[in-house]
């Protein structure tokens, strides 16, 4: 049976960049025999404008029925002043993550050699960089109870959150990381703060336990403060990094910036069955929306991740990634990655070039 892909363009540049990823998916379907069906839905500000909800019921129904979801981005200044926080576009994303139980967040940070000059770090430090950060997305201190701000007996106020992980939560994210490492360089670095936080002592213990099922994968441990230093000092030492929600939030943004080009970075959020939502790491870029300037490659690379991790089409995923590398070799650049001597192209020209490179192969 044909696999169902739900496309949620969202807001700002979302519709422009997802249109290019859809072109690529349609080319795979029509010319390369990929058996998928594409449907569309509204989310974020677009959902609010049409139905009064950032995650309309019909969108959630479609998302539940789909095998995978490709999302553009949500948000923009026109919705920033909505007094009811539950109607904000970002709630559409959070609603999808929690309703679909997307606990496993994959954030690759890889540097295309053609774009080495975009990084703020020295080329020899970052060239060839290829890290996969696996972040737990639905637990940890961001969701732990109890939480709040309370008044103590002496009248002083105290803010508090709870950092909790159950063994099963740790085990399932560990499995995601080890499975990932098997498809890559067979190394997992687990990041914790086991010298200070009990919850991460348990984290470390469970990582060791799961590692026994993956004798072909090497497991190391690193404290989060050292991991931050090492990411900036010698990032190429890492293959797969696995960590909790909060540490992963911070480290994945830092790792992403090592590459210097936000328009190039895809991401995935997976559930226990391997169903996932795929989206670029960047936001809706309202400053350039509608101008045909946005870089669609992060979204196209997200579609490739979707084929690899949710639709079991790793070969087609690789072809898409090679096509992206080829258009960079040809010197084609959207404005955000433009440099001297290169050819500046629009959003849709970039998408067309990827399709062409894909079909030429
Ligand atoms: P942003 O990522 O949208 O933009 C930051 C800068 O990068 C801007 O100058 C933008 O023009 C540029 N940029 C981003 N993506 C680009 C692309 N594909 N091609 C070329 N340039 C690109 O982050 P910002 O400005 O903080 O947020 C804008 C809106 O996006 C806000 O409403 C925010 O809430 C939302 N947002 C949504 C996210 C999501 O849907 N996952 C994630 C981050 C922000
Ligand atoms: Mg973040």
Ligand 1 contacts CB of residue 262 (under 6 A): yes
CA of 156 to the centre of ligand 1 (A): 39
Please check whether residue 11 is in contact with residue 287, taking contact to mean a CB–CB distance below 8 angstroms.
no
The pLDDT score that the predictor gives to residue 232 is: 94
Average confidence (pLDDT) over 174-199: 96
Q: Which atom of ligand 1 is least distant from the CA of 298?
A: 18
24-80 residue pLDDT tens: 999 999 999 999 999 999 999 999 999 999 999 999 999 999 999 999 999 999 999
Average confidence (pLDDT) over 285-289: 97
341-358 residue pLDDT tens: 999 999 999 999 999 999
Binding-site annotation: residue ranges for substrate: 97, 107, 135, 225
Q: Which atom of ligand 1 is least distant from the CA of 282?
A: 2
The pLDDT score that the predictor gives to residue 105 is: 97
User: If we measure between CA atoms, which residue out of 34, 73, 66 comes closest to residue 285?
Assistant: 73
Selected residue with higher pLDDT from 38 and 113: 38
Q: Which ligand is nearest to the CA of 251?
A: 2
The pLDDT score that the predictor gives to residue 257 is: 86
201-210 residue pLDDT tens: 999 999 999 9
Protein residue whose Cα sits closest to atom 4 of ligand 1: 285
Q: Which ligand is nearest to the CA of 90?
A: 1
At residue 118, does pLDDT exceed 90? no
At residue 134, does pLDDT exceed 90? yes
79-111 residue pLDDT tens: 999 989 889 999 999 899 999 999 999 999 999
Protein residue whose Cα sits closest to atom 34 of ligand 1: 75
User: Vertex 334, ends 329 and 338: CA angle to 5°?
Assistant: 75
Ligand 1 contacts CB of residue 108 (under 6 A): no
Phi and psi torsions of 187, nearest 5°? -135, 130
The interface predicted TM-score of the complex, written ipTM, equals: 0.97
Ligand 1 contacts CB of residue 66 (under 6 A): no
Average confidence (pLDDT) over 154-171: 97
Question: 């404290």: which residue's tokens?
Answer: 223
Protein residue whose Cα sits closest to atom 1 of ligand 1: 283
Summary mean pLDDT of the chain: 95
Please check whether residue 242 is in contact with residue 174, taking contact to mean a CB–CB distance below 8 angstroms.
yes
Domain limits of the chain?
A: 1-109+267-361
11 classed as catalytic = no
* CA 248 – CA 251 distance, rounded (Å): 5
142 classed as catalytic = yes
- Band (123; pLDDT cuts 50, 70, 90): confident
At residue 116, does pLDDT exceed 90? no
At residue 329, does pLDDT exceed 90? yes
1-109+267-361 is a CATH 3.40.50.620 domain: no
Average confidence (pLDDT) over 148-174: 97
Please check whether residue 36 is in contact with residue 5, taking contact to mean a CB–CB distance below 8 angstroms.
yes
Ligand 1 contacts CB of residue 329 (under 6 A): no
At residue 305, does pLDDT exceed 90? yes
- Band (278; pLDDT cuts 50, 70, 90): very high
253 classed as catalytic = yes
User: If we measure between CA atoms, which residue out of 348, 355, 349, 305 comes closest to residue 326?
Assistant: 355
Protein residue whose Cα sits closest to atom 12 of ligand 1: 285
User: Among residues 193, 214, 239, 309, which one is catalytic?
Assistant: 193
Q: Which atom of ligand 1 is least distant from the CA of 14?
A: 40
248-267 residue pLDDT tens: 999 998 998 888 788 999 99
Percentage of the chain beyond pLDDT 90 is: 89
The pLDDT score that the predictor gives to residue 107 is: 95
User: Among residues 35, 80, 253, 312, which one is catalytic?
Assistant: 253
Going by C-beta distance under 8 Å and a sequence separation of 6 or more, which residues neighbour residue 7?
Answer: 18, 21, 22, 38, 39, 40, 41, 69, 70, 71
Average confidence (pLDDT) over 303-331: 96
What residues have a C-beta under 5 A from ligand 2, the ion? 249, 253
Ligand 1 contacts CB of residue 351 (under 6 A): no
Please check whether residue 222 is in contact with residue 194, taking contact to mean a CB–CB distance below 8 angstroms.
no
* CA 359 – CA 342 distance, rounded (Å): 23
Ligand 1 contacts CB of residue 282 (under 6 A): yes
Out of 282, 289, 338, mutate this one to test ligand 1's pocket (max ligand atoms within 8 Å of CB): namely: 282
- Band (117; pLDDT cuts 50, 70, 90): confident
The pLDDT score that the predictor gives to residue 259 is: 85
Beta-carbon neighbour count of residue 2 at 10 Å?
A: 11
Average confidence (pLDDT) over 211-236: 97
């Amino acid at each position: 049976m044909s696999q169902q892909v739900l496309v949620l363009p969202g807001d700002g540049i979302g519709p422009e960049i997802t249109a290019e990823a859809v072109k690529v998916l349609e080319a795979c379907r029509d010319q390369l025999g990929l058996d998928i069906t594409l449907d569309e839905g509204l989310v974020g500000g677009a959902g609010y404008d049409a139905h009064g909800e950032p995650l309309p019921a019909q969108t959630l129904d479609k998302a539940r029925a789909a095998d995978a979801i490709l999302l553009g981005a949500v948000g923009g200044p026109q919705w920033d002043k909505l007094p009811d926080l539950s109607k904000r576009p970002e709630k559409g994303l959070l609603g999808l993550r929690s309703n679909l139980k997307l606990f496993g967040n994959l954030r690759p940070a890889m540097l295309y050699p053609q774009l080495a000059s975009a990084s703020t770090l020295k080329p020899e430090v970052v060239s060839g960089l290829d890290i996969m950060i696996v972040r737990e997305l639905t637990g940890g201190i961001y969701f732990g109870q109890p939480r709040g701000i309370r008044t103590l007996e002496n009248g002083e106020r105290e803010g508090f959150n709870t950092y909790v992980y159950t063994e099963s939560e740790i085990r399932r994210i560990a499995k995601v990381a080890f499975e990932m490492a098997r498809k890559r360089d067979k190394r997992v670095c687990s990041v914790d703060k086991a010298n200070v936080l009990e919850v991460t002592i348990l984290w470390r213990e469970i990582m060791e336990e799961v590692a026994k099922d993956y004798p072909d994968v090497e497991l190391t441990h690193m404290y989060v403060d050292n991991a931050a230093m090492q990411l900036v000092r010698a990032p190429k030492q890492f293959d797969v990094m696995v960590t909790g929600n909060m540490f992963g939030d911070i480290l994945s943004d830092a790792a992403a910036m090592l590459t210097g080009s936000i328009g190039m970075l895809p991401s995935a959020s997976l559930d226990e069955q391997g169903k996932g939502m795929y989206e670029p790491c960047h936001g809706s870029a309202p400053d350039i929306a509608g101008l045909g300037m946005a870089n669609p490659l992060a979204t196209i690379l997200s579609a490739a991740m979707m084929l690899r991790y949710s639709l079991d089409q790793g070969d087609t995923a690789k072809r898409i990634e090679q096509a992206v590398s080829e258009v960079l070799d040809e010197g084609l650049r959207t404005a955000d990655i433009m440099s001297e001597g290169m050819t500046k192209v629009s959003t849709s020209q970039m998408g067309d070039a990827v399709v062409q490179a894909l079909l030429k192969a």
